[in-house]
Amino acid sequence: MTYELNDKVKNLIPYDAVAGNYEIRLDANESFLDSGEALRDQFLSALSGIALNRYPDPMASELCKKIAKFYGIDPGSVVAGNGSDELITVILGAFLRPGDRVLTFSPDFSMYRFYGTIYEKTNLLAEKEDDLILTAGDVMDAVSRNQPDAVILSNPCSPTSLVMSREDVLHIVENTDALVILDEAYMDFSDQSIIKVAEKYDNLILLKTCSKALGLAAVRLGFAVSSPKIVKALHSVRSPYNVNALTQAVGTVIFSNPDYIKGAIEEIKKSRDELYQGLTGLRERNGVRRVLKPETNFVLMELDEAERVYEELKLKSIIVRRLGDYLRITAGTQQENGRVVSALSEILEVMS
């Protein structure tokens, strides 16, 4: 046998979410509220009605109707996916062509560039300014410099936790010929969504996930909102049964409970604000450079010795996400937020 792995895949390492047992997990921006627990009876009843020997509805029609009703949009503008991650792979892998120029910003969600590489796009990168704020002007400058076929960005952004205004986003969409892939994974925690007008634009794909605000990361459900032309193309290139029947059933239940969703979002925002308050209380301490005001369910802080602090937190059985000089800390329960703030306080005390 002489088959050798090609250069593209030879040195890749499988994605490994932080393994190990930690008492407090604030690393993945999941919801600290388990929707499965809250709506258990409804989920069980929906799941028990599924014929497991049959393929699921390839269009996920019932689910898309409920999603559309919740967000006040047209059901025909919604395409469901196996997590928004799958939709990103469908867009970068099948919708765009090999070699297409894809513009991303840094820092932003790392998977954009990862899939861009895997699917052999031409990755173009624009660095954000030191304040990490991205404006329409920054994006338009990068677009005119790079002449991309597609631009992909998250708003609010992970990891910066900052949001771009609706006016800025619409300015970008209306003034570029490139395809704009707008990832609103965290927009439930902010108020600058353009989801209600997304279907009007022929160069926009808006992405949403149920993994964050909706507390369903285990279920793998995301969706795209777009114009009829793009929706048709997305349906044509995705795999026909991309969203399994169990996920469709669970998704249909969650979106049939708008009051539950709104209550959960309020609770998470409250936790986020408490965590932000707690962390800003450490702002004057040695080693803390800044704490950004979040529009997400996590807080980003910059430290002199982020790596050391990160390792010390792990020793206290608390896992967060480290990105260079930054720690990205997901809002947890009141108790978890209290624990991470006091652990940080102790660590900074010893280090200074």
Q: Which positions touch ligand PLP (CB under 6 A)?
A: 29, 83-85, 109, 154, 158, 183, 185, 209, 211-212, 217, 222
Q: Give the nearer residue to ligand PLP in terms of CB position, either 160 or 227.
A: 160
Kindly give the pairing relationship between strand 179-183 and strand 204-209. parallel
Residue in the structure block whose two tokens are 């409804």: 42
What are the structure tokens assigned to 341, written together? 């703030």
CB 296 within 8 A of CB 161: yes
| Shortest spacing between CB 261 and ligand PLP, in angstroms | 16
Q: Give the nearer residue to ligand PLP in terms of CB position, either 56 or 83.
A: 83
Q: Please tell me what DSSP assigns to residue 189.
A: G
What are the structure tokens assigned to 229, written together? 């032309």
Give the three-state DSSP class for 275.
Answer: helix
| Shortest spacing between CB 53 and ligand PLP, in angstroms | 27
Give the three-state DSSP class for 152.
Answer: strand
Single out the residue of 116, 103, 182, 181 nearest to residue 142, CA to CA. Answer: 103
Q: Give the nearer residue to ligand PLP in terms of CB position, either 66 or 212.
A: 212
Q: Please tell me what DSSP assigns to residue 129.
A: P
Starting at the edge strand found earlier in the chain, the sheet holding 204-209 runs 78-81, 222-226, 204-209, 179-183, 150-154, 101-106, 122-127
Q: Give the nearer residue to ligand PLP in terms of CB position, either 185 or 282.
A: 185
| Shortest spacing between CB 212 and ligand PLP, in angstroms | 6
Q: Give the nearer residue to ligand PLP in terms of CB position, either 91 or 185.
A: 185
| Shortest spacing between CB 223 and ligand PLP, in angstroms | 9
Residue in the structure block whose two tokens are 């300014």: 129
Q: Give the nearer residue to ligand PLP in terms of CB position, either 31 or 154.
A: 154
Q: Give the nearer residue to ligand PLP in terms of CB position, either 148 or 222.
A: 222
| Shortest spacing between CB 324 and ligand PLP, in angstroms | 17
CB 140 within 8 A of CB 175: yes
| Shortest spacing between CB 154 and ligand PLP, in angstroms | 4
Q: Give the nearer residue to ligand PLP in terms of CB position, either 296 or 312.
A: 296
| Shortest spacing between CB 317 and ligand PLP, in angstroms | 24
| Shortest spacing between CB 250 and ligand PLP, in angstroms | 13
Nearest-CB residue for ligand PLP: 83
Helices (H), 13-161: 35-38, 40-48, 61-71, 83-90, 111-118, 136-146
The dihedral formed by the CA atoms of 102, 107, 111 and 115, expressed in degrees to the nearest 10:
30
